[in-house]
Every structure is written in structure tokens, then in C-alpha cells.
Amino acid sequence: MPELKLILDEAEREGILPDRVADRLLPFLIERGVRVDAVVAETTGQAVAFSDTETPSFVRGFHDVLITIGIVVALAGLWGLGSIYAVLPAIIVLAEILVRRQRLALPAVALTFALAIWTCVALAMWTGAVSAMLGASDIFGLGIHNDGLQYTLAFPVVLGLFYLLYRIPLALALAIMGAAVVVPKLILRLFDWLSATPLDMATHEGVQSMLLVACAIGLFAMAMRFDLKDPLRRTVNSDIAFWLHLGAAPVLLYSILWLSGGGRGALVGLDTVSMRTPVVVITVMALMLVGLIIDRRAFVTSGLVSLGAALYGIFRQGNAQVDTYVFITLLAVGVIVLVIGTGWMPLRRAVVRRLPDGMQKRLPPA
């Protein structure tokens, strides 16, 4: 039987149902015992089974994949032949057709990423032009040590408006992530304005580390806020949480590295990371445990690249041959992925059963 959500979306595209009725109708049908791929409900409305596939709702079929390929190729060609100003109208027109009318999920994700890239490039161009015209790096009164603040101010606004227009979960997640970047920079600029000493990288590493950790925790808390609203993964809240978790894990890892004494060098340079491999390994393992508890493989996956870099640094410190430690790193990460992937449900069941009953009730079923 095809997924019920796809059937409802198809009915909207055919004009049988009004726009955006499917999102309200689906929970209504589930509560009255209609069988859905994600949950099986009895006539009482109690969920008796939970599918732990964690399949993102934008993965639906090759029809969406084909259209998404066309979007990417067409926008790239338009960017090359025309200009950056021709891309934005094309994104809006495609969004009106493919998202608002046809409600295609994967093309919506592609268009959101395209808008995010366009916003970054456009802000860089406009800010550079204004800076050259004024002959100074102090733009909009943000201070000389703005650390790219002028490039990021409009990002959450643009993506937030895109979400309000088309209700794409990724757009809201990117807007929240953009705000998590802007807020600490604004706080630093406030301290810069109040104090006589500019808060640059060299003199205020501790303040910046604390701000980065606070924003990382806030981003994870926001992801959990959406996740706890929908433990059965049936609504758009689950999709928003998926993208937020995907971005929260690496931010948490690197903020902890920064706080542990790595500073800005913890984010770049293999040698710096390799000197702190125990911190990286412990942190990634903790993130994997958290991902296991909240039942988010996306949260775990986003930390695996950092784990690979950490193991690479460990073997490199041991003076292993280049070909040896590269393959040992690949083997170690692969074994970890296979163990966690194949044993996800038994491991999660063993961990969740040791949590308080109140916490277990708020988490996805184990």
C-alpha cells in the first residue's frame, strides 16, 4: 500500500483536496485507526507499533530525484550564463510550481539549499561593494572587527521568510542555524562597543568559547524542542528536528574542542586536532550515546567524520606508515558504524530502559 501522505499529496495536486489540507488530515486519520507506514494505530487512537526507519520525508521516489537533478543543472547554467540576480527569480518561480502547487519534497530541499547559497554569495558581493565604496571595513556601524557579521545578518531573515512562504522544514532549520551564528557575533559587538578593547580572536578566546558552547547547546535544545513535540515522527516537527540535529552535532563537537583549549585552531589543522584526540573521541562517543537515546541516527552520523579525523590523528601520532594509518582509520570507523547500525535497536533498548520512566515516555518508543 502506498504511503498515505503521498496519496494525500497527490490528491492536493489533482485538486481533489484544498492546499495544505494533508498536513492536518493525516494526524486526524491516524488517531482514528488508519494504518500509516510510520505508525499503526488502533481504533482507540493508541499507537501500538513504531517503525524505527527514520526515513526523511523528502526521500519519496525517483520522480523527485529526476526533477531535483533538473533544478540543480538549470540553476547552475542560469548562474553561469546570466548573473546572480537571475537566479533568485528562478528559485521563486520554481518554488511556486514545485513546492506550493505540486508539493514535491526533494525539490523543495534543493531549492532551499540554492537560496541559502545565493544569499551567502549575494551578501558577500554587496558587502564587498559597499566596503570598497566607503573605503573602510566598518560597515553598518558593526565595528572593524566584525568577523563576517555583515555576511550573516540577512541569512536567517531570508530563510525565515522562505519558510513562511512555503513551509519547508529545512528553511526553518537553516534560519535557526543562521540565528545561532548571528547572536554570538552581536553579543561580541556589544561588548566591543562597551569596552575599550576590541573583542578580537587573540584577546578574548575564553569569552568566545563560552558563547560558542552556549549557542551549540541552544541549537541542540531547539532541535529537541521540535523532536519532543513529535516522538512518533509523524509531523513536520520531526523533519525540522532532523535538520537541526544534523547541524547541532558538529557544532557541539567543535565548541567543546574550542572550550578545551583548542581555540580557533581546533577547527582547522589536523595537527591541532590530533593533539586533542582523546577529547574528540570522548566527545563523539558521548554524542553517539545522546543520538542513541533520542533515536536520531542523523545526529550520530554527523559526528562520524570528526571521529575519523580523531582516529587518523591518533595513528599518525603513533608514527604509523601513511598507508597503514589511513586504512586503520577507515577500518575502525567502518566497524563502529556497522556495530552501531546493526545493533541500533538492541543497544537503544538497553540504554533507554535504564532511564527514568518520565523520560522514557517522552522519547520515541524503544
Bridge partners (DSSP) listed for residue 39: 50
pLDDT at position 325 over 50: yes
CB-facing half-sphere around the CA of 136: CA atoms within 13 A: 10
Bridge partners (DSSP) listed for residue 186: none
CA-CA distances (angstroms) from residue 103 to 22, 154, 205?
Answer: 11, 27, 46
CA-nearest of 247, 259, 258 to 222 is 247
CB 280 within 8 Å of CB 273: yes
In this prediction, residue 47 carries a pLDDT of 39
Q: What is the mean pLDDT of residues 125-152?
A: 55
User: Residue 37 is placed in which grid cell?
Assistant: 507506514
What percentage of the chain carries pLDDT values higher than 90? 22
In this prediction, residue 42 carries a pLDDT of 33
CA-CA distances (angstroms) from residue 335 to 38, 186, 286, 307, 311?
Answer: 29, 43, 18, 12, 13
User: Residue 166 is placed in which grid cell?
Assistant: 512555503
pLDDT at position 20 over 90: no
Which segment, 76-85, 96-105, 117-126, 293-302, is predicted with the most confidence on average?
96-105
Say how far residue 138 (Cα) sits from the centre of its chain: 31
Bridge partners (DSSP) listed for residue 357: none
pLDDT at position 266 over 60: no
Q: How far apart are CA 122 and CA 155, in angstroms?
A: 10
